[in-house]
Amino acid sequence: MGLRVVALVVGGVLLAAETSHNRSSSAQAEPGDANSVQNLRRIVEECHRRSIEAFKRGNMLGVARGYADDATMYFPRGKSAHGREGVDGYWLRIKGAKDWKLEVTEVGGTGEAIYEVGKSSLTTEVNGQERTYVCDFVLIWKLQKDGSYRIHTDINN
């Protein structure tokens, strides 16, 4: 079994992942396979970096573009937002972007779909009043036809 390098372009950044020659690109990343998990984490962290930069610039549509067109966001009390219109609408309602921290606590999955567990601390300032919303989240990132990863499912409390 030889190794080959699979190159992915994510937001203009070239990321390489080693995969087994006899394993399909959607093979499960084994928990003990640090290189695969490390590569998945690197992809997720790069996607976060771009979203945080967009947020800090107040570019909420830039943040929303990190979601797939068929994404669903699940919120407390049974609320949700679905599809491009729903995701864009959610992010466009956020005003006074100030800071956003995303802490990744667990990453796994495959080259086709990555799951992530983490914590979000999003800070806004409106009319001189600063507010920080902290939540835990689970994200499912799916590989898109263009080779990028976008959030397909966002569950937060």
pLDDT of residue 1: 37
Domains of the chain plus CATH, in order, are: 3-156 (3.10.450.50)
pLDDT of residue 5: 35
Per residue in 59-97, pLDDT (tens digit) is 999 999 999 999 999 999 999 999 999 999 999 999 999
pLDDT of residue 11: 37
pLDDT of residue 33: 54
Ranges of the chain with pLDDT below 70: 1-35
CB < 8 Å & 24+ apart, contacts of 44-52: 44/104, 44/107, 44/114, 44/116, 44/139, 44/141, 44/149, 45/104, 46/10, 46/11, 46/13, 46/15, 47/10, 47/11, 47/141, 47/149, 48/102, 48/104, 50/11, 51/100, 51/102, 52/100, 52/101, 52/102
pLDDT of residue 53: 98
